[in-house]
Amino acid sequence: MVLEWFLIAKKDRKHPILIFIFTFLVSIISMFISYFIFKENLGIFNIVLISLVLVTFINSMMVLEEKETETQIQKSFLEKHGDIISAFAAMFIGMTLAMSLAFIILPEQVVEKMFYEQIREINIIQGKFTFGSQFMDIVANNLSVLMLSFLLSFLIGTGAILILSWNASVLAAAIGMITKSLGGWHGFPLAVLTFLPHGVFEITAYFVGAISGGLISACVIRKRAKLGFILKDALSLLFIAVIMLIIGGLIETFIIVI
């Protein structure tokens, strides 16, 4: 109860550094609780715990974003939605950094137990992209994640945080694996840079998709809101997210060499 009310959307959503620090600490606490309480599927329970703590903040943030969007018709994309995108980015970076450090620092047997599901997912993804058209496979996979973020955010309100948390944990495991393969801490910057060029576009697209679904959800709940305008703005966000995924896929396929 204390943790979930630590961040107040009205005053804290415009402070990404505070959101980052809070999410980083919550991720560490969640990993600790998962390891000592849950004996199976630790990676899944960790994601659920992180999401539960952030639910109240994200719900409030989405409602405020929808209200402000109604009154900011003439403002640009970043002017209208820059704050909430930076808030999501701060949460994602906080989760990813905390779990990456845990992957690198913790003993191997603990890591295998804590990140079993994430490591398996990475192996599945690597196998999937070995054959066929890599660009189309990457974009199709990322589009499915985008639509899931949109639908969960629309149907459940904060459901998208589960997808974002899961992706943060998978990315953390990938960064940790590369860091260890490069010999330790000195390989950490290179491991991050491996995913940064395309990851910026892909992860931001998931944020934007979640915001799009959340705006429509908040608008429907409020009933008196300007549904037509909000729907148009939300669909524009979804279109921008798709373009970002295509750019990210092009960078990952034709520019990044791993």
pLDDT tens digits for range 195-242 = 888 888 999 899 888 888 887 877 777 665 566 777 888 888 899 999
pTM across the whole model: 0.84
pLDDT above 90 for 159:
no
Q: What is the pLDDT of residue 258?
A: 42
Please work out, in degrees rounded to the nearest 5, the angle formed at the alpha carbon of residue 73 by the alpha carbons of 158 and 75.
Answer: 90
Q: Is the pLDDT of residue 100 over 70?
A: yes
Q: How far apart are CA 168 and CA 170, in angstroms?
A: 6
Owning domain of residue 220: 3-254
Sign of the C-alpha dihedral computed for residues 27, 106, 203 and 86 taken in this order = positive
Q: How many domains does the chain have?
A: 1
Share of the chain above pLDDT 70, in %: 81
What sign for the dihedral angle of Cα 143, 227, 55, 22? positive
> Mean per-residue pLDDT for 99-126?
87
Which among 173, 197, 16, 180 has a CA at the least distance from the CA of 93? 16
Residue 132: pLDDT band with limits 50, 70, 90: very low
pLDDT at 28: 93
Contact 191, 253 (CB under 8 A): no
Q: At what angle do helices 160-181 and 77-105 cross, to 10 degrees?
A: 50
